[in-house]
Amino acid sequence: MRGVWLTTVWGLDWPKDKADTPDGIRRQKESLDRTLRRLKADGYNTVFLQVRHSGTTLYRSPYEPASPAIAGEGFFDAGYDPLTYAVEACHQLGLAVHAWMVTYPLVSPKRSPHPLLRDHADWAIAHKGSYHLDPGNPEVRSYVAHLATDLARRYAIDGVHFDYFRYPEAAETFNDRTSYARYGSSFPSKAAWRRDNLTRQLREVRDSLTSIGSDIQVSVAPLGKLKMIPDLGRSHGWTAYESVYQDPETWGREGLVDFVVPMMYYRGDLYSPFLQDWKEKVAPYIPVIPGLAAYRVEESGWPSSVIAEQIAEEREVGLGGVCFFREQHTSSRFPLVRQVIEQAFASTALPLALKRGEATAPATPEGLHAVFVSKKEFNLSWTLPRGASTRGITYRLWVTTTDSHGRRAATLLAQGLRSPECRLTLEDFVGDDCAEFGVEAVNSFGVATPIAHGLELNLAALRLEQQH
């Protein structure tokens, strides 16, 4: 995986323009298109798009208010849904898109209390000047699972990605005594009960998604330090297991998540030992994708070479890829970081193929052909064999081009196509004389068929025909 977190809270990465006028909507779309094209060109294959902040959403939710980052005071134009647009834009570029949710923190303006505080006051606990949904409350867990299921039902996302999936900072002072007294008496300690609450949450998410026939991927961004390492020889800071009660080993062993993206925003002896710890304890069950701190180059004065070294170390250890926080810090505003990433991502890579999808590998497409709808535009289409299941199936479209000097190049044209067709233009292949197309079916776990070839277009001849 070559991922990036695209942060929408406060418009940090996107959007910079409000969608409260037709012109604002246009600028918002164009800005996202530029960002996604840049990510595609730089070699990324996965976008974690922040769709839920601390109780507000980037999409049309029947349960929570819209984020002011999108349209001021929550205005949504009747014909525009940012998430629908973003998913389609990502898939047209061959980028997987995972809906990134801030899970338990809750921000509630004083002048207009959040609906959850108004209607379910016992769900949230005041803590350090804000609110935090109580993972120990079964109704909270059902609500979070319902939010994830609603996303999966209404949007063609590739996965749901939980952030702040933990107990809050200074968790020892988090006042969940009431729910502990009610639900935790059978556990040997409050720590064990809290860890079980988060694990129960993931079970409920998985069961809820299964109940609607959804096979989207589920992931979590835990803290970057898994557990205390006894012989580390220095202060650890907080850890996932001991400090905020995350238990990724259990999640992986029980198959509750498809992968984890630990936020490893450290370097040196706070990076390498913990990278190995993830490798030994969690990677035997599920892919581990280290989250790297591109932002540290600007905010902490790291040399960009640290990022290059961490990518190289991840590859040497043999994990599942990397993900960067956050998009803007990988852009042309920070050319040294961008150059490091471009070099690391120089060859094409596909999103992860997950083990739990191998038993339901899709049928190989057939009948790939082109129909010209104008002199410049043509439609590629194909079918699956009669009787083949289409549940959760998407398509990836490939092309191998040959230029006038005989140089060949293979390119992923599109990914996540929901129907067996794709419209292209001759202008998509400027400088190429010939194009051979191939298509593969992909299930929702990223497991693909062999590429079905069989269609070759003589682009040079087609251009000559246009001149007559």
What is the rounded distance in angstroms from the CA atom of residue 305 to the CA atom of residue 313?
12
Distance of CA 100 to the CA centre of its chain: 6
Unique residue bearing structure tokens 């009787």 = 387
Distance of CA 341 to the CA centre of its chain: 18
**What pLDDT, on the 0 to 100 scale, is given for residue 360?**
84
Please give the C-alpha separations between residue 35 and each of 160, 370, 442, in angstroms, as whole numbers.
21, 30, 25
Tokens of 144: 């979070």
Tokens of 197: 């609450």
Please give the C-alpha separations between residue 346 and each of 38, 40, 43, 46, 315, in angstroms, as whole numbers.
14, 11, 6, 15, 14
Among 162, 318, 172, 173, smallest CA distance to 248 is for: 162
**What pLDDT, on the 0 to 100 scale, is given for residue 7?**
98
20-44: per-residue pLDDT in tens? 889 999 999 999 999 999 999 999 9
**What pLDDT, on the 0 to 100 scale, is given for residue 347?**
86
**What pLDDT, on the 0 to 100 scale, is given for residue 75?**
58
What is the rounded distance in angstroms from the CA atom of residue 323 to the CA atom of residue 7?
13
CATH of 357-466, one of 3.40.50.300, 2.60.40.10, 2.40.30.10, 3.40.50.2000: 2.60.40.10
Q: Is 352 helix (H, G, I), strand (E, B) or coil?
A: coil
The answer to whether the beta carbons of residues 240 and 227 sit under 8 Å apart is yes
End-to-end CA distance of the chain: 47
Backbone angles phi, psi at 343, to 5 degrees: -65, -40
SS3 sequence of 263-310: ECCCCHHHCHHHHHHHHHHCCCCCCECCEEECCHHHHCCCCHHHHHHH
Indicate the domain borders of the chain.
2-353, 357-466
The answer to whether the beta carbons of residues 326 and 7 sit under 8 Å apart is yes
Among 350, 356, 161, smallest CA distance to 260 is for: 161
- Burial of residue 299 (CB within 10 Å: 0-12, 13-18, 19+) is exposed
- Burial of residue 203 (CB within 10 Å: 0-12, 13-18, 19+) is middle
Rounded to the nearest 10 degrees, how much is the dihedral formed by the CA atoms of 23, 25, 31, 34? -100
**What pLDDT, on the 0 to 100 scale, is given for residue 68?**
87
CATH homologous superfamily for the domain 2-353: Glycosidases (3.20.20.80)
What is the rounded distance in angstroms from the CA atom of residue 450 to the CA atom of residue 402?
22
- CB neighbours (10 Å) of residue 446? 19
What is the rounded distance in angstroms from the CA atom of residue 2 to the CA atom of residue 289?
9
**What pLDDT, on the 0 to 100 scale, is given for residue 349?**
84
**What pLDDT, on the 0 to 100 scale, is given for residue 112?**
79
Tokens of 452: 């079905």
Q: Any idea how long the chain is?
A: 468
**What pLDDT, on the 0 to 100 scale, is given for residue 77?**
64
What is the rounded distance in angstroms from the CA atom of residue 16 to the CA atom of residue 11?
5
**What pLDDT, on the 0 to 100 scale, is given for residue 74?**
52
Per-residue tens of pLDDT for the chain, all 468 residues: 999 999 999 999 999 999 988 999 999 999 999 999 999 999 999 999 999 999 999 999 999 999 988 876 655 566 899 999 999 999 888 799 999 999 999 998 777 789 999 999 999 999 999 999 999 999 999 999 999 999 999 999 999 999 999 999 999 999 999 999 999 999 999 999 999 999 999 999 999 999 998 989 999 999 999 999 999 988 889 999 999 999 999 999 999 999 999 999 999 999 999 999 999 999 999 999 999 999 999 999 999 999 999 999 999 999 999 999 999 999 999 999 999 999 999 987 887 888 888 888 899 999 999 999 998 999 999 999 999 999 889 899 999 999 999 999 988 888 878 899 999 999 999 999 999 999 999 998 989 999 998 899 999 999 888 776
What is the rounded distance in angstroms from the CA atom of residue 365 to the CA atom of residue 302?
48
Among 258, 244, 247, smallest CA distance to 351 is for: 258
